[in-house]
Amino acid sequence: MRYVSTRGGMAPRPFCEILLEGLAPDGGLVVPDHYPKLDPATLERWRPLAYADLAFEVIRLFVDDIPEDDLRALVDRTYTREIFRTEAITPLTTLEPGFHLLRLSNGPTLAFKDIAMQLLGNLFEHVLARTGAELNILGATSGDTGSAAEYAMRGKRGVRVFMLSPHGKMSAFQAAQMYSLQDPNIFNIAIRGVFDECQDIVKAVSGDAQFKARHRIGTVNSINWARIVAQVVYYFRGYFAAIAESGEEVGAPVSFAVPSGNFGNIFAGHIARMMGLPIRALILATNENDVLHEFFSTGRYRVRASAEVVQTSSPSMDIAKASNFERFVYDLVGGAAGVVAALWRQVEEEGGFDLVGTPYLANLQEFGFVSGRSTHADRLATIRDVQQRYGVLVDTHTADGIKVARDYRDPATPMVCLETAQPVKFAEAIREAIGRAPDVPPGYESLESLPQRVEVMDPSVDAVKAFIARHTGD
Ligand SMILES: *Cc1c(COP(=O)(O)O)cnc(C)c1O
**Ligand 1 centroid to 329 CA: how many Å?**
20
**Does pTM surpass 0.85?**
yes
Environment class of residue 421 by beta-carbon count within 10 Å: exposed (0-12), middle (13-18) or buried (19+)? buried
Query: Domain for residue 14, yes or no?
Result: no
Residue 395 lies in a domain: yes
Tell me, yes or no, whether 147 and 237 share the same domain: no
- Ligand 1: residue of 324, 420, 424 to mutate (most ligand atoms within 8 A of CB) is 420
300 and 416 belong to one structural domain: yes
**Average pLDDT over the chain, rounded to an integer:** 95
Q: Note the pLDDT of residue 363.
A: 84
Does 423 contact ligand 1 (Cβ within 6 A)?
A: no
Alpha carbon separation from 55 to 52, 59, 134, 347, 384 (Å, rounded): 5, 6, 27, 36, 35
Residue 352 has pLDDT above 70, yes or no: yes
With b meaning 16 or more CB within 10 Å and e meaning fewer, what string describes 260-297?
A: bbbbbbbbbbbbbbbbebbbbbbbbbbbbbbbbbbbbe
DSSP single-letter state for residue 322: -
Alpha carbon 165 to chain centroid, angstroms: 16
Report CA 470 to chain centroid distance, whole Å: 30
CATH number at residue 301: 3.40.50.1100
Tell me if 263 is assigned to some domain: yes
Model confidence pLDDT, tens digit, residues 84-114 = 999 999 999 999 999 999 999 999 999 999 9
Q: Which atom of ligand 1 is nearest to the CA of 425?
A: 13
Nearest CA to ligand 1 atom 15: 144
Centre of ligand 1 from the C-alpha of residue 283, in Å:
14
Q: What is the DSSP string of 337-384?
A: HHHHHHHHHHHHHHSEEE-TTSTHHHHHHHTTEEEEE--HHHHHHHHH
Report if residue 439 sits inside a domain: no
What residues make up the domain containing 343? 87-108+231-434
187 forms beta bridges with: 162
Burial label for 399, CB within 10 Å (0-12, 13-18, 19+), is buried
In short, whether 316's Cβ falls inside 6 Å of ligand 1 is yes
Neighbours of 444 (CB within 10 A): 17
Model confidence pLDDT, tens digit, residues 58-85: 999 999 999 999 999 999 999 999 999 9
22 in Cβ contact with 223 (< 8 Å): yes
Active-site residues, by number, are 113
What digits encode the pLDDT tens for the residues 363-410? 888 999 999 999 999 999 999 999 999 999 999 999 999 999 999 999
| Distance between CA atoms of residues 150 and 141, nearest Å | 11
* Residue 184 and residue 47 share a domain: yes
pLDDT(169) > 90? no
Phi, psi dihedrals of residue 203, rounded to the nearest 5°: -65, -45
Whole-number percent of the chain with pLDDT over 90: 85
Same domain, 260 and 282: yes
Same domain, 414 and 293: yes
Centroid of ligand 1 to alpha carbon of 322 (angstroms): 11
Q: Looking at residues 424-434, what average pLDDT do you find?
A: 94
Question: Is 144 a residue whose pLDDT tops 90?
Answer: no
Q: How far apart (Å, rounded) are the C-alpha atoms in residues 335 and 34? A: 10
Same domain membership, residue 398 and residue 287:
yes
- Report which secondary-structure segment, H or E, holds 332: helix 325-332
Question: Does the Cβ of 401 fall within 6 Å of ligand 1?
Answer: no
Residues 104 and 213 in one domain: no
| Cα–Cα separations (whole angstroms), residue 394 to 83, 387, 402, 436 | 21, 8, 9, 13
The verdict on residue 4 lying in a domain is no
**Sign, Cα dihedral of 331, 316, 110, 186:** positive
- 47 versus 223: which is more confidently predicted? 47
Same domain, 305 and 389: yes
Do 148 and 279 fall within a single domain? no
Examine the domain organization and report whether 362 and 265 are in the same domain.
Answer: yes
Q: Is 351 in the same domain as 282?
A: yes
Q: Which residue, among 108, 168, 117, 169, has the nearest Cα to 139 in the 3D structure? A: 117
Closest C-alpha to 173, from 409, 368, 421 = 421
> Buried (b) or exposed (e) across 141-167, using 16+ Cβ within 10 A?
bbbbbbbbbbbbbbebebbbbbbbbbb
Domain contains 8 = no
From 220-224, 245-249, 270-274, 382-386, the region with the lowest mean pLDDT: 220-224
Spatial distance between the Cα atoms of 167 and 456, rounded to a whole number of angstroms: 7
Average pLDDT of 48-53?
Answer: 98
429 within a domain of the structure (yes/no): yes
Domain-embedded: residue 253: yes
Shortest-distance Cα residue to atom 8 of ligand 1: 262
Count: domains in the chain = 2
145/239 same-domain check: no
Dihedral sign of CA atoms 444, 446, 450, 455 in order: positive
pLDDT of 474 reads 57
Model confidence at 22: pLDDT above 80: no
